[in-house]
């Protein structure tokens, strides 16, 4: 048994959690919600152990480094961040519905890491550019940011589903009761975006400090840098629209989806453009 | 009377303009990631029809981040930020300075989260107890005695109103830092062979040559690999010289730049130098002479005990599939001789008996009484250094820290104000508490509940 096998089990645990969250949303039974939350916590615990194992293993191989250095490790950490932040949010906000929309992103990230061709799950030694103390702070802040934007995206999706679900106020078994109210969703989107915006700002700044030491310039308009700035601008527009021009509800939900698309392009799409950050030519 | 608004000022202070500018900047930035930029544009241009290429160049689309349009948008955004902030700052300052007294009209009863307690203690006891409780919670408390009773006022986080301005100022500082860097700094590149010293560096983008006030010498370049073949270390041992004297030495690694005077050096690339290094030794009458010589093509060396001089004509890593070899020219009063010294001369002799008689050129002992041997031929490297001076860096770094601080103030600090109204009610007293917060009502409600519990604990209800 290896830690990568355990990580592929985690993929299935998150899938199960997703299915339970979906049952909770569709059938409205608390039982499914509790089961979903429990499953997600188990998945997070197992994943954390596997990550620590991988970390230790890299030291046993004599090439010790935190498992945040290649596409596989970043995908796994992305999934971890999503579930971690989601469970904290669920615990604080006492609302389980976004789970059905957020957990599948973590599941997809894990599945992509496990099965996509070209994703190497071996522990690789660090090339000179990655041998920096800034690696950890840069990757952790960026992915916590991406995960927060994922929460906003998941809550935004529910917003679009709302009108599709018949609201029957007299029936106790009414489905839209299972969905959070539009106001709650609006708050969830806003909080996710704010948290993500602060983390993304930190990620860009730690990245430029690192670039200052590694590449000799804190900003070189590398496609990944540029796309992180584009993403930052999109969320900055969203926050100004809300705080100054009073955008709420559906418009914010649309922006959360656009912002998330930009996050995905910053993370993955950019690898197909030439540049310093590319995982592909590493 | 409403103030006359200047239409230019109104235009630059609008958030609509900010949003439009941000959208345009983002779109240009997107373009820059899809169109090849600067140096990379060369090949791309050649594959385009000339007319299209000319248009792309004219629109500066192949150097978007340094184009007039981009600079214009950034200037407009800066102006917009300045005007917007100046326009809005006075009202924020008013909120920061707003006194708790006189109690805002209509605050009591019930303009916010209000709670009333009737307690058995007399008014004065209540006031002193609540005052000390408030002081413990919030640091300082204002007090006002009126005919209606005593009012206490406390607040915290009033500088939350400044958060937005801190963010905007930080962005202006970062932009300023970038401008300072591009005006007063430079970025250059230099390739130095091992053993060589340079004083001139080549400015980026073909902007010419820059003379440094000192010389940089690459003493050694080291390349190490991981077991899987991936690079592990690129390291240049550098010496900085002034007037031919070494002032400082240091190891330059990726992620560990070296600074000398105001200029920073970065390990950027490496190359194989055309010169190889030969490790050559020789013996005289069968007695080995020390030490081993490390020579490259063109080097001249003395042969002790004779008037002869040796010159290295060629250093080859693998010549005629016979391995490493050097070609030497020995000049002496007896005349010149040339011959090859092979690393694997013993094996070559075994495979071709009689070779040395047929081809004296292959005999390492051709110049008597000396015999040469080649220990190894080593690749000589050159190191590629990025040479940078950027006086804008402290501004950008300061702006970055300020940005994070400002964002945290903006989103997570809130201005919370509390008023407590105490008046006599029969034997005891009546307490009214009102709190107001400029953001995050959920957390504020929790805090107010907490406050009520503390008040209840301090009183007999």
pLDDT tens per residue across span A27-38: 878 899 899 999
DSSP code string of A103-156: HHHHHHHHHHHHH-TT---S--PPPGGG-STHHHHHHHHHHHHHHHHHHHHHHH
The band of A171, judged by pLDDT with boundaries at 50, 70 and 90, is: very low
Q: Is pLDDT of A280 > 50?
A: no
Question: Across the interface, which of B388, B403, B407 has its CB nearest the CB of A216?
Answer: B388
pLDDT at B254: 92
The band of A275, judged by pLDDT with boundaries at 50, 70 and 90, is: low
Question: Across the interface, which of B40, B388, B397 has its CB nearest the CB of A217?
Answer: B388
- Residues forming beta bridges with residue B80, ordered by sequence position: none
The single-letter DSSP state of residue A164 is: G
The band of B275, judged by pLDDT with boundaries at 50, 70 and 90, is: confident
Q: Beta-carbon neighbour count of residue B284 at 10 Å?
A: 15
Q: Is pLDDT of A229 > 90?
A: yes
For residue B123, give the nearest of B424, B460, B457, B419 by alpha carbon.
Answer: B424
| A110 in Cβ contact with A4 (< 8 Å) | no
Q: Pick the range with the lowest mean pLDDT from A168-182, B166-180, B266-280.
A: A168-182
| A11 in Cβ contact with A61 (< 8 Å) | no
pLDDT at B3: 57
Tell me if B407 and A217 make a contact (CB, 8 A cut-off): no
Q: Which residue of B has its CA nearest to A131?
A: B255
CA A121 to chain B, closest CA, distance in angstroms equals 14
CA A86 to chain B, closest CA, distance in angstroms equals 19
Tell me if A216 and B254 make a contact (CB, 8 A cut-off): no
Taking residues B246-273, report their average pLDDT. Answer: 92
CA A54 to chain B, closest CA, distance in angstroms equals 18
Distance CA B361, CA B341 (A): 9
Q: Best mutation site among B411, B441, B446 for testing chain A: the one with the most A CBs within 10 Å? A: B411
A·B CB contacts under 8 A: 101
Distance CA B327, CA B319 (A): 11
- What is this structure's pTM? 0.86
Can you read off the two tokens belonging to residue A119?
Answer: 């994703």
CA B20 to chain A, closest CA, distance in angstroms equals 9
Tell me if A128 and B40 make a contact (CB, 8 A cut-off): no
Residues of B in contact with A226 (CB under 8 A): 29, 32-33
pLDDT at A121: 86
Can you read off the two tokens belonging to residue A145?
Answer: 């940011």
Alpha carbon distances (Å) from B416 to B114, B158, B164: 14, 7, 17
Can you read off the two tokens belonging to residue B273?
Answer: 């130098």
Residues of A in contact with B34 (CB under 8 A): 273
Distance CA B82, CA B96 (A): 20
Q: Per residue in A44-55, pLDDT tens?
A: 999 999 999 999
Q: Which residue of A has its CA nearest to B264?
A: A216
Residues of B in contact with A131 (CB under 8 A): 254-255
Tell me if A205 and B403 make a contact (CB, 8 A cut-off): yes
Q: Beta-carbon neighbour count of residue B68 at 10 Å?
A: 9
Tell me if A128 and B187 make a contact (CB, 8 A cut-off): no
pLDDT at B112: 55
Tell me if A213 and B257 make a contact (CB, 8 A cut-off): yes
pLDDT at B240: 95
Cβ neighbours of residue B313 closer than 8 Å, sequence gap 6 or more: B297, B326, B327, B328, B329, B338
Q: Which residue of B has its CA nearest to A124?
A: B228
* Percent of residues, chain B, with pLDDT higher than 70: 97
Q: Is B41 on the interface with A (CB under 8 A)?
A: no
Distance CA A43, CA B273 (A): 54
pLDDT at A172: 44
Q: Which of B185-189, B359-363, B454-458 reaches the highest mean pLDDT?
A: B185-189
* Phi (first) and psi of residue B115, to 5 degrees: -145, 140
Q: Which residue of A has its CA nearest to B391?
A: A217
* Percent of residues, chain A, with pLDDT higher than 70: 92
Taking residues B188-197, report their average pLDDT. Answer: 91
Q: Which residue of A has its CA nearest to B268?
A: A215
Q: Pick the range with the lowest mean pLDDT from B169-173, B185-189, B321-325, B351-355.
A: B351-355
| A157 in Cβ contact with A101 (< 8 Å) | yes
Q: Best mutation site among A126, A218, A246 for testing chain B: the one with the most B CBs within 10 Å? A: A218
CA B98 to chain A, closest CA, distance in angstroms equals 22
Question: Across the interface, which of B187, B255, B404 has its CB nearest the CB of A214?
Answer: B255
Q: Is B183 on the interface with A (CB under 8 A)?
A: no
CA A223 to chain B, closest CA, distance in angstroms equals 5
Q: Is B85 on the interface with A (CB under 8 A)?
A: no
Q: Which of A132-146, B43-57, B58-72 reaches the highest mean pLDDT?
A: A132-146
Question: Across the interface, which of A63, A128, A245 has its CB nearest the CB of B254?
Answer: A128
- Distance, C-alpha B149 to centroid of its chain: 60
Q: Is pLDDT of A3 > 80?
A: yes
Parallel, antiparallel, or unpaired: how do β-strands B209-225 and B149-156 relate? unpaired
Terminal Cα-to-Cα distance of chain B (whole angstroms): 51
Q: Per residue in B76-128, pLDDT tens?
A: 999 999 998 898 899 899 989 888 888 877 777 655 556 788 888 888 888 99
Q: Per residue in A89-143, pLDDT tens?
A: 888 877 777 889 999 999 999 999 988 877 888 888 888 889 899 999 999 999 9
| A6 in Cβ contact with A46 (< 8 Å) | yes
Q: Is pLDDT of B273 > 80?
A: no
Distance CA B372, CA B308 (A): 14
**Strand, helix or coil for residue A160:** helix
| A226 in Cβ contact with B28 (< 8 Å) | no
**Continuous H helices in A28-70:** 30-60
Question: Across the interface, which of B228, B404, B411 has its CB nearest the CB of A202?
Answer: B404
Q: Is B408 on the interface with A (CB under 8 A)?
A: yes
pLDDT at B407: 96
């Amino acid at each position: 048994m290896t830690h990568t096998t355990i990580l592929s089990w985690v993929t299935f645990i998150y899938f199960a959690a997703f299915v339970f969250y979906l049952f909770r949303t569709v059938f409205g039974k608390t039982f499914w919600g509790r089961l979903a939350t429990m499953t997600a916590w188990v998945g997070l615990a197992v994943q954390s152990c596997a990550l620590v194992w991988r970390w230790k293993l890299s030291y046993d191989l004599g090439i010790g480094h935190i498992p945040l250095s290649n596409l596989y490790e970043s995908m796994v950490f992305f999934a971890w961040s999503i579930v971690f932040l989601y469970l904290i949010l669920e615990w604080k906000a006492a609302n389980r519905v976004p789970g059905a929309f957020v957990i599948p992103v973590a599941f997809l990230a894990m599945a992509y890491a496990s099965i996509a061709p070209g994703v190497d799950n071996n522990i690789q030694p660090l090339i000179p550019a990655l041998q920096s103390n800034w690696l950890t702070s840069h990757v952790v802040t960026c992915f916590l940011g991406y995960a927060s934007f994922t929460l906003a995206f998941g809550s935004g999706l529910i917003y679009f589903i709302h009108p599709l679900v018949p609201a029957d106020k007299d029936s106790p078994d009414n489905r839209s009761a299972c969905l959070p109210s539009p106001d709650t969703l609006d708050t969830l989107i806003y909080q996710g975006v704010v948290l993500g915006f602060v983390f993304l700002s930190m990620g860009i700044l730690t990245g430029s400090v690192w670039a200052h030491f590694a590449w000799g310039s804190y900003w070189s308009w590398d496609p990944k840098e540029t796309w992180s700035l584009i993403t930052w601008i999109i969320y900055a527009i969203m926050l100004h629209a809300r705080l100054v021009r009073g955008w709420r509800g559906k418009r914010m939900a649309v922006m959360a989806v656009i912002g998330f698309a930009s996050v995905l392009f910053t993370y993955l799409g950019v690898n197909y453009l030439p540049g310093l950050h590319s995982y592909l030519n590493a | 009377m409403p103030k006359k608004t200047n239409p230019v000022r109104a235009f630059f202070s609008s958030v609509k303009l900010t949003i439009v500018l941000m959208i345009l900047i983002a779109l240009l930035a997107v373009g820059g990631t899809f169109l090849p930029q600067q140096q990379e544009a060369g090949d791309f241009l050649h594959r385009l029809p000339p007319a299209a290429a000319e248009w792309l160049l004219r629109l500066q689309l192949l150097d978007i981040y340094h184009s007039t349009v981009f600079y214009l948008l950034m200037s407009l955004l800066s102006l917009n930020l300045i005007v917007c902030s100046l326009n809005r700052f006075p009202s924020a300052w008013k909120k920061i300075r707003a006194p708790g007294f006189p109690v805002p009209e209509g605050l009591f009863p019930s303009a916010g989260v209000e709670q009333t307690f009737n307690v058995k203690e007399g008014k004065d006891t209540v006031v002193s107890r609540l005052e000390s409780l408030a002081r413990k919670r919030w640091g300082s408390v204002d007090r006002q005695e009126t005919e209606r009773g005593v009012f206490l006022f406390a607040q915290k986080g009033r500088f939350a109103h400044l958060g937005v301005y801190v963010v905007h100022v930080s962005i202006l500082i970062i932009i300023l830092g970038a401008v300072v860097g591009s005006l007063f700094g430079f970025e250059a590149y230099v390739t130095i062979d091992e053993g060589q010293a340079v004083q001139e560096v080549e400015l980026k983008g073909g902007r010419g040559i820059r003379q440094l006030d000192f010389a940089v010498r690459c003493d050694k370049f080291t390349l190490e690999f991981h077991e899987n073949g991936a690079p592990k270390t690129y390291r240049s041992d550098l010496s900085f010289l002034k007037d031919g004297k070494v002032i400082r030495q240091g190891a330059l690694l990726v992620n560990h730049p070296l600074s000398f005077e105001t200029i920073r050096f970065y390990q950027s690339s490496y190359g194989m130098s055309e010169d190889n290094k030969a490790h050559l030794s020789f013996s005289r009458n069968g007695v080995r002479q020390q030490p081993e010589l490390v020579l490259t093509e063109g080097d001249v060396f003395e042969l002790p005990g004779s008037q002869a001089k040796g010159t290295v004509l060629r250093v080859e890593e693998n010549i005629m599939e016979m391995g490493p070899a050097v070609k030497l020219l020995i000049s002496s009063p007896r005349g010149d001789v040339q011959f090859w010294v092979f690393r694997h001369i013993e094996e070559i002799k075994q495979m071709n008996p009689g070779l040395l008689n047929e081809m004296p050129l292959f005999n390492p002992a051709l110049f008597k009484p000396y015999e040469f041997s080649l220990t190894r031929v080593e690749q000589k490297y050159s190191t590629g250094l990025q040479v940078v001076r950027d006086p804008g860096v402290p501004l950008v770094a300061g702006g970055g820290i300020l940005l994070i601080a400002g964002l945290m103030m903006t989103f997570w600090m809130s201005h919370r104000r509390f008023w407590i109204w105490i008046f006599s009610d029969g034997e005891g007293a009546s307490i009214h508490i009102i709190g107001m917060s400029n953001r995050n009502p959920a957390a504020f409600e929790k805090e107010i509940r907490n406050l009520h519990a503390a008040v209840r604990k301090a009183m007999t209800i």
